Structure 1
């Protein structure tokens, strides 16, 4: 009988398939977004897979994530940091690091720091309430660019909608702003998130920039049968008790639970200390292709109501059906996958 805890299993072949499908269908190079521990899949596990598949360009949100990527010592990769970092000297130390310029004040500061602008991307904001330059700042930005004869690595924005008409309108404005500043001053142009990439939107961009779609997850309402899931969370039942022996299940009184149709409880090694939050209580998991409710979640363990068909060591899969789980939890799959922390090992499946 296995006494192991839960593991996230990563399907290597599906990640490479997704990468190749997106690259072939868009005819563009991919900037693979691997922030938030590759959306919970495991940054150190996913990035080497993508490199093996042919990816050379990655994006993260923060300096700490970039340093983790650098620690992998992967040759010939480029790393874009979305947020402005405090220590600009890091860019001089690592010429494969790139950074976004997120405000006019940062732009002016960088000019004074003698930074290589071929490592920098201008970011534009179209009402997303994130970082980026606005339309009102374009004339001043152009004056700075022309005065200092600046050439950038890239120009970028981020779509806040998957509505095709809205995305097309934003993209047209984005490209017009770049043309106003001088398209020749930007080596690459990127705007698409996963939704826009799958929908085929983003005309005028040179690269696609996607994360969840590479990992087999799509935004709600967007479907594509060519995108293959690459993530499974599972672990064994390692303790079973009959209800007749119990007054409590975890810290919950047995009589407070709806136990009809079940006569036993199984214990599994996953809890809120692993990032499996208590709002998963009453979520259905899968054991031997049957659904059973998780009725109590503590820090290190959780409890599942089961019947006589379940035995010690049987595999319990959580979050098998993303659509159902999204509805139950009132959150998207890339939110709760990201919550799972490093106590849950990430295991690469190459079969």
Structure 2
């Protein structure tokens, strides 16, 4: 393990082998007819874009999905020409050249999007590989059904577009796979029904325009809980990093959490009964208490709300957080930790001995979701790799 970062500083540890394991496991689950694409947007969910992409690539991944042109170009430069890169978010005109000249596949989601690209490509005599996106319940990016069929005709007859894919996105893939489990509040929406509607649309489009397309609607939740969503490609994000899309820890999905977040004790002191801890003096110890101070805070992405609900691990023991979380420091209760001393590791996320704080648990304490935990902690804290 690298020793470039002192153990007293907040740090992220990423296990590349766990990332590779998750990709291989999901690929096996998807079956031979369905390819797994790795979602590596937002610095690979805080796990490090280069580190994670290399781990997935070495495990056999050849399709990567990103949100920004910067991410796409970075992958092309570092992983080479043998991978396919899909940019899922529309590009602005100033991004067109970088996308087109680096062989990036672009998701098209609106008439304005298509017209902008069509004009720019025509002027330069270039072509672009595209995936048309239809909106199936997100109300976000994507064509409505009537608009989609009209735009599909435009794309199909245009010589400057290489139409390679048909895609959509599921807004509730973690829900029950039971097609009879209809929620009135969701206007009779179920994932199974939307997948079936997408299948019918794909059949109609391929028949009408006489071309096979790479069809993809599934994400991590769909792959794990909705086998019917496994078309030609599934776009996996959260599960690749070892988390359950339902927010349930330890559910036997065969995934390995790849991220751990740790810091170190920089001071230990004894406080008398009634002493206050932290800003606002709104926490008082109820008995003589041994308090440890760890070098991590909200500037590192550690949510302030965790002061009310959260805990950390020290020497394999759970220790409650005392008082408010500061910008760079937290105070923890060491009363039940024998032999704790300055320099001991403090685990905010991950395992220490037989104990573990999962991302699902941390998200629940913070009143958020694992996605935000990963991107908040992974994006702000110094990173090193666990080998």
TM-score normalised according to structure 2 size: 0.81
| 1:290 counterpart = 2:298 | no
RMSD over aligned CA atoms reads 2.5
Could you tell me which residue of structure 1 aligns to residue 359 of structure 2?
322
Distance 1:265 1:53 in 2: 44
Alignment of 1:272-311 (within 5 A): 272-282=298-308, 283-295=310-322, 296-307=324-335, 309=338, 310-311=340-341
Matched residue, 2:3 = none
Following TM superposition, by how much is the alpha carbon of 1:175 offset from its aligned partner in structure 2, in angstroms? 2.3
Partner of 1:82: 88
Distance 1:262 1:123 in 2: 61
Show the 5 A alignment for 1:253-268. 253=281, 256-260=282-286, 263-268=289-294
Check conservation: 1:168, 1:201, Cα contact below 8 A. Answer: no
Following superposition, the deviation at residue 125 of structure 1 comes to: 0.1
Going from structure 1 to structure 2, the CA distance change for 1:234 and 1:246 (only over 3 Å counts) comes to: farther
Paired position in structure 2 for 1:55: 61
* Residues 108, 130 of structure 2: 8 Å contact kept: yes
Structure 2 vs 1, CA of residues 311 and 51 (structure 1 numbering), >3 Å: closer, same or farther? same
Tell me, which stretches of 5 or more residues in structure 1 are unaligned?
none
**Is the contact between residue 265 and residue 341 of structure 2 (CA under 8 Å) also seen in structure 1?**
yes
Q: TM-score, normalising length from structure 1?
A: 0.89
User: Could you tell me which residue of structure 2 aligns to residue 31 of structure 1?
Assistant: 37
1:259–1:305 CA contact under 8 A, matched in 2: no
Structure 2: distance between partners of 1:146 and 1:99? 15
Residues 148-187 of structure 1 show CA distances to partners (whole Å, capped at 9, x for unaligned) of: 3654121111111123232221112112222322265354
Q: Map of 1:1-351 to 2, 5 A cutoff? A: 3-27=7-31, 28-86=34-92, 87-95=95-103, 97-114=104-121, 119-148=129-158, 151-162=162-173, 163=175, 164=177, 165=179, 166-182=190-206, 184-203=210-229, 205-220=231-246, 223-244=251-272, 249-253=277-281, 256-260=282-286, 263-282=289-308, 283-295=310-322, 296-307=324-335, 309=338, 310-319=340-349, 320-340=357-377, 342-350=379-387
User: For residues 31-88 of structure 1, what are the alpha-carbon distances to aligned partners after superposition, in whole Å with 9 as ceiling and x for unaligned?
Assistant: 1001122112222221111111111211111223324434535452222111111121
* Deviation >6 Å, runs of 4+: none
Report what 2:186 is aligned to: none
Displacement, 1:217?
0.5
CA contact (8 A) 2:247 2:370 kept: no
Q: For residues 186-225 of structure 1, what are the alpha-carbon distances to aligned partners after superposition, in whole Å with 9 as ceiling and x for unaligned?
A: 5411111100011143446101110111110111266443
